[in-house]
Amino acid sequence: MSAPTTQAPTLAPAPRGGISGSIRDSLVVGKRNLIRMTRIPEMVIFGLIQPIMFVVLFTYVFGGSINIPGAPEGSAAAYKEFLMAGIFAQTVTFATAGAGAGIADDMHKGLIDRFRSLPMARGAVLTGRTLADLVQTAVTLAVLALVALLVGWRTHENIGKVLAGFGLLLLLGYAFTWIGALIGLSVRTPEAATSGGLIWLFPLTFISNAFVPVNGMPTFLQHVAEWNPFSATVAAARELFGNTIDGVPKSVTGAWPMEHPILASVIWSVLIIVVFRTLAVRKYRNATA
């Protein structure tokens, strides 16, 4: 009579190590999310409607009523060039809510648990998701730029600087998607992730130099606005697009980010990515442990 055999418990495959394996896994997850987006076109369409509405409303409703320092009073053309960098920055940062909701939805449906059973890098799920959101944001930004050109926005620098301006905007958007990822991992439902991803964005974007000149704000808000990472990217984009006015001081309060907006924009974005990616990956590992 043979001795009874015991079956060893099945263990999840060990993830592949190395940077190349992590990059490969992230790209696979990113491709999965991009395919999902193409099968749900209303996600892209609705993501375009809001920023287009902002462009049209701000251009034609406020265009002749807001005075830009150094420009003729009530100049609609000056306000268009002042406004567009702010609208672009708002658009890329508002993608934060979608990123958080998407990750919360994957957690809610148990998809993350299925990913855990695969031999893949642990951070690849979040990295792939944020990369897919970055591609969607880039498409939205390209369409929005065409709409801005149609309503009269113009750049006054060479193509290299213009592309660098859009690059800084996308870098900021990518940084903010990691904040969205952390929010999505910290709540229980996609609806809560959407609300949590938007509620702090409104003061961040409106207490800034995006839509109105900072010099009209109370003194304490001027300091807040000019040290706002969102304002640094807006100012950098304006400078690279050639949408600044000669002779007008860059800063009202002498804030370093406004005096060196391009460098400040890069520093802020990289710092946000490093901090919130670390927190999001740690939260992901704890949530799926």
- 204-247 per-position pLDDT tens digit: 999 999 998 998 899 999 999 999 999 999 999 999 999 988 87
Pick the more confident residue, 181 or 9: 181
Pick the more confident residue, 136 or 120: 136
Query: What does the angle CA 149 – CA 56 – CA 42 come to, to the nearest 5 degrees?
Result: 90
Most confident of 109-123, 195-209, 229-243: 229-243
Average pLDDT over residues 65-94: 85
Identify the pLDDT of residue 155.
93
With a cut of 70, say whether residue 186 has pLDDT above it: yes
Identify the pLDDT of residue 289.
54
With a cut of 90, say whether residue 31 has pLDDT above it: no
Pick the more confident residue, 12 or 145: 145
CA distance 279 to 270: 14
Regarding pTM above 0.75, the answer is: yes
Identify the pLDDT of residue 9.
44
Confidence bin at 10 (pLDDT 50/70/90): very low
Confidence bin at 128 (pLDDT 50/70/90): confident
Percent of the chain with pLDDT over 90: 36
